[in-house]
Amino acid sequence: MNAVANFFTRLVNRYLPDPLVIAIGLTVFTVLLAIAFQGTSPVDAVRYWGDGFWDLLEFTMQMTVVLLSGYILAKTPLVDGLLDRLTGRISSPRAAIVVATLVGAVGSWINWGFGLVMGGIVAQKLAMNVRGLHYPLAIAAGYSGFALYGIGLSGSVPLLIATPGHFLEDRIGIVPLGDTVFSPVLLLTSLAVVLLLPLFNTLLLPKDPAKVVEIDRSTVPAPPSIDRDALSERTLGQRMNDSPWVGIVIGAMALLYAILYFTDGGTLDLNAVNFIFLFLGITLFARPSRFLAAVADGIRTIAGIVIQYPFYSGIMGVLVGSGLVVAFANAFSEFSSGQTLPLWSFVSAGFINILAPSGGGQWAVQGPVMVEAAQSLGADVAATALAVQIGDQWTNMIQPFWILPVLAISGLKLRDVMGYLVLVLVFLGLIFGTAVTVWGFISA
């Protein structure tokens, strides 16, 4: 296993470009696919790309806020102290890899934004404390837990089809979470990932001490602090910046609103999560000056999102406008049976996700095709729908779209971790592929 990991690490170090170059390359590749297989003219393909380039602006902003607020919350004195106590108890590289994977996995199952950020932060803290820990693998392990996000409490597809008024309600009705996230198959799948993925990641630890790359501790910024001795010499405005009452007052107001929101029947969507995380961060920092210092440090975690997400939105525009998504989905469903449709839905979704990663957006296009196939073949709709979600989360392991914030936190390059994530992809493919296959046969 170590030799295979070294092979893929050397391979990606030599040939893998930066994420922006990958996004541009995927754009050109998608345009060529549309021209070659759909007969789309080059002019129309470019038109689809440009028209779709800004379609995910709202989603991009939601993503930037959920990741920034998750980062801020993790950096508050309370949470940061808890994480320090957790990571301070770890002394061996093997245990560190297990903990990083578990934090990323459990956190992502609860809420994908929080888990994505927390996995990277905990991995970095472990690397600071544990001597001999291979930093690239620690970051890869923390990110690998993100593979559970889609079948957890914040998965976009299960939440969407469980919400009254969703766009496929007239065809499949309301599919409760008891049939998806809390179904025996998915609960066992999640448990298998939580138990087995940490152990698999430990097998990737370098056996040769000369190949261990530890974290450069001088590059990790120190937490913000306040010069209390100089407070008496500051102006009224500066004292307000450092007053804890500012954060406490607005935090109490936000808490009241959150209570009113949920008592009025509000749901835990992205905007609600962002609101809660943001004001928890403000409240726990209390002092605006400390909060803004954490914001300034966290901005670097979202820089790649702001620039690169529109490129994937443009790719989705080409996939939808040319009909490539429907063509891909139809191609897989044509040779499926009622028992095997979930498996091929999983495979097709994984392939499409490499071109245009977006769980909810992908379901909006691929969902109607797979639902129609499920109903015509007698396949279970819940199994088919969640197979699409699982395929999406599976190939996120090698799709640069989601790992950008983790790379920003860690200071590493994509090529530093990709060799390990390729092996994680193969391992998770066995677990997820088995799960959707079994689900397909027992539910059809």
Could you tell me the residue ranges of all domains in the chain? 2-216+235-443
Mean pLDDT of 355-366: 72
Q: Which of 5-9, 32-36, 70-74 has the highest mean pLDDT?
A: 32-36
Report the percentage of the chain scoring pLDDT > 70. Answer: 95
The pLDDT assigned to 409 comes to 84
Bigger pLDDT: 368 vs 190:
190
The pLDDT assigned to 361 comes to 65
Q: Cβ(132)–Cβ(212) under 8 Å? A: yes
Is the per-residue pLDDT at 217 higher than 70? yes
The pLDDT assigned to 360 comes to 63
- The conformational region for residue 184 under phi > 0 = left, psi -120 to 50 = alpha, else beta, is alpha
Is the per-residue pLDDT at 117 higher than 90? no
Bigger pLDDT: 228 vs 397:
397
Q: Cβ(423)–Cβ(429) under 8 Å? A: no
The model's confidence at residue 310, banded by pLDDT at 50, 70 and 90, is confident
The pLDDT assigned to 189 comes to 97
Is the per-residue pLDDT at 34 higher than 60? yes
Q: Lowest mean pLDDT: which of 98-102, 222-226, 403-407, 408-412?
A: 222-226
Q: Cβ(338)–Cβ(377) under 8 Å? A: yes
Reported pTM: 0.84
DSSP-based three-state secondary structure for 413: coil
The model's confidence at residue 387, banded by pLDDT at 50, 70 and 90, is very high
Is the per-residue pLDDT at 232 higher than 60? no
The pLDDT assigned to 179 comes to 94
Is the per-residue pLDDT at 23 higher than 90? no
The model's confidence at residue 358, banded by pLDDT at 50, 70 and 90, is low
Burial class for 191, CB neighbours closer than 10 Å (0-12, 13-18, 19+): exposed
Is the per-residue pLDDT at 150 higher than 70? yes
Compute the Cα dihedral for 270, 411, 299, 71 and give only its sign: positive
CB atoms within 10 A of CB 432: 23
Q: How high is the mean pLDDT of the chain?
A: 88
Mean pLDDT of 381-396: 94
The model's confidence at residue 256, banded by pLDDT at 50, 70 and 90, is very high
Q: Lowest mean pLDDT: which of 97-101, 152-156, 213-217, 362-366?
A: 362-366
The pLDDT assigned to 223 comes to 58
Mean pLDDT of 333-354: 90
Query: What are the tens digits of pLDDT across the range 266-298?
Result: 876 667 878 888 999 999 999 999 999 888 888
Q: Which of 159-163, 195-199, 298-302 has the highest mean pLDDT?
A: 195-199
